[in-house]
Copies of this chain bind each other. A is one copy, B any other.
Amino acid sequence: MTRTPSDSRPDPSGSTPPGEETPRPGHSHRHPRAARHRHTRRLSRPRLPRAKRAPPGLPAGIEYHELTATSPDTPTRILCTDYSPERIETQEVGDVAAFLAIHRPSWTQVRWIHVEGLQDQSALRTLAEKYKLHPLAIEDILDRGQRPKLEDYPGEDDLPGRLFVMAHGIQLIENQLVSEPTGFFLGRTTLLSFQHSTCPAIGEIRKRLYSPRSRVRQNDASFLLYVLIDAMVDRYFPILDASSERLESAEDEVLTRPDGLSLHAMHEIKRDLVMIRRSAWPMRELVAQLQRDHHECLSEIAQTYFRDVYDHCVQIIDLIETYREIASAVTETYVSIVSNRTNDIMKVLTVIGTIFIPLTFLAGVYGMNLEMPETHWAPAYPLFWVACLVIAGIMLWRFKRGGWL
């Protein structure tokens, strides 16, 4: 028995995953313990991030022979693209074993094998055996909750070193932040990439590869890695944009009509910023390593371009921190405004109350059915009004002097 990565279970609905690491209910026969249903419906808020749920004590790493899950519903799709500056060819691989048995064409300078959908693990196993992927790396690929990171598996004997890169792209799906982890194995002329679901950005980059003048065609596999990671980092910008728009409109509301502010919306913004930040910081670390550390598989030109991605990451972090500070200033201002308004409201009530409560008492006194000498005294009534006006006047004057009005 092995630790269960949360996505080795078939997903009957086949829909896009609604939350980062939400285990989806399934009917996996191997892991009944993980099939925890949640009946409480939370409409719009994404779940809090969770870690993998394998019970403690299971061995780490996934050995090749453990990659046995098969899922006819969501088959794994493998696309292999070979290219050189002059030529490019893409094929969809059906039988992985047969495909890997054939030598790659001699004109190929970079081979990019992209695997989409990791429910059916037989293809993964064949690839892992062929390219001698490390069991810990395989576990990381299958784990949706894995954080972005860089792992250097140094070469042994006949095989050159590999760089294992785990990157995160984020998307907004139905107003929820969904993070799409992607695993890369970078060799000197080969790039393997693994994703849980289909991502349109991959297709667009493949299209760009077909343009013979594009820089990526002129360069090596690490440049292709750069292009893919650049695309993932670029994904943060529209999401930050959406956050900044929500934040701006919240700020407008606080300053113009604080009653209209949806505290829910404000909470969502803060929460989203926490989540984006949680994802962006390790991405920044990852790209910093990629642009700084020397590795046999990373070309110098790719590292120059990674510096550019690093700048974007710094910009993302900077925007997140700026938004967080603004959000915190908005909250502070909101609390000040609300307590100020409570103060104003109390002041009105107190002024009214302080003026009329004594007067009402006075009126109540003369409404008593006791024998009062005043009742028969004609000027009593006008004098009563005079007294009321005098009392109210004194009160108002004191409030004025005290700065309450």
Identify the A interface with B (CB < 8 A). 40, 42, 45, 47-61, 63, 136, 139-140, 145-147, 149, 151, 201, 204-205, 208, 214-216, 227, 230-232, 234-235, 237-238, 240-241, 244, 247-249, 251-252, 255, 257, 259, 263-264, 266-267, 270-271, 274-275, 278, 282, 304-305, 307-309, 311-312, 314-316, 318-319, 322-323, 325-326, 329-343, 345-350, 352-354, 356-361, 363-378, 380-381, 384, 403-404
Contacts and interface: CB of A to CB of B under 8 A. Distances in A.
Contact of A363 (B53, B274, B368): B368
A29 B126 CA distance: 49
Contacts of A332: 270, 331
Contact of A52 (B208, B237, B314): B237
Residue of A53, A59, A271, A378 with highest tally of chain B CB at under 10 A:
A59
Contacts of A403: 257, 259
A290 B305 CA distance: 22
Contacts of A259: 403
**Interface majority SS (helix, strand, loop, mixed), chain A:** helix
Contact of A56 (B237, B244, B248): B237
Nearest to A151: B307
A309 B136 CA distance: 10
Contacts of A316: 51
For this chain, the copies found in one complex come to: 5
Nearest to A134: B304
B319 A49 contact: yes
Given A339-B342, A342-B343, 5 more contacts: A45-B251, A54-B234, A58-B234, A345-B350, A372-B381
Contacts of A264: 255
Contacts of A363: 361, 364-365, 367-368
A21 to B, nearest CB: 10
B231 A57 contact: yes
Nearest to A304: B136
B147 A329 contact: no
Contact of A338 (B147, B237, B339, B371): B339
Most buried by B among A60, A259, A304: A60
Given A329-B267, A338-B336, A340-B263, A381 B371 contact: yes
A374 B370 contact: yes
Residue of A147, A266, A311, A312 most packed against chain B (CB within 10 A): A311
